[in-house]
Amino acid sequence: GDILIIAGDICSFGNKAELLDFDDFLEIQSHSAKVVVAGNHDWPFACSSPAEANALLKNAIYLEDSGIEILGLKFWGSPWQPWFGGWAFNLPRGPKLAAVWSKIPDDTDVLITHCPPYGILDVVHGENVGCKDLAIALKRVRPLVHVFGHVHQGYGVAEQDGMIYVNASLRDENYSLVNQPISIDL
Give me the chain's average pLDDT, please: 94
96 three-state secondary structure: helix
Radius of gyration of the chain measured on its C-alpha atoms: 15
User: What's residue 48's pLDDT?
Assistant: 63
Backbone angles phi, psi at 171, to 5 degrees: -105, 150
Q: How far is CA 143 from CA 45, 63, 114, 135, 162, in A?
A: 26, 16, 16, 12, 9
What are the tens digits of pLDDT across the range 52-93? 888 999 999 999 999 999 999 999 999 999 998 889 999 999
Strand-pairing partners, residue 120, are none
User: What's residue 84's pLDDT?
Assistant: 83
Enter the pTM of the model: 0.95
What are the tens digits of pLDDT across the range 149-183? 999 889 999 999 999 999 999 988 877 888 999 99
- Percentage of the chain with pLDDT > 90? 82
In 3D space, the residue among 128, 183, 179 whose CA is nearest the CA of residue 152 turns out to be 179
Q: Looking at the predicted structure, is the pLDDT value of residue 21 above 80?
A: yes
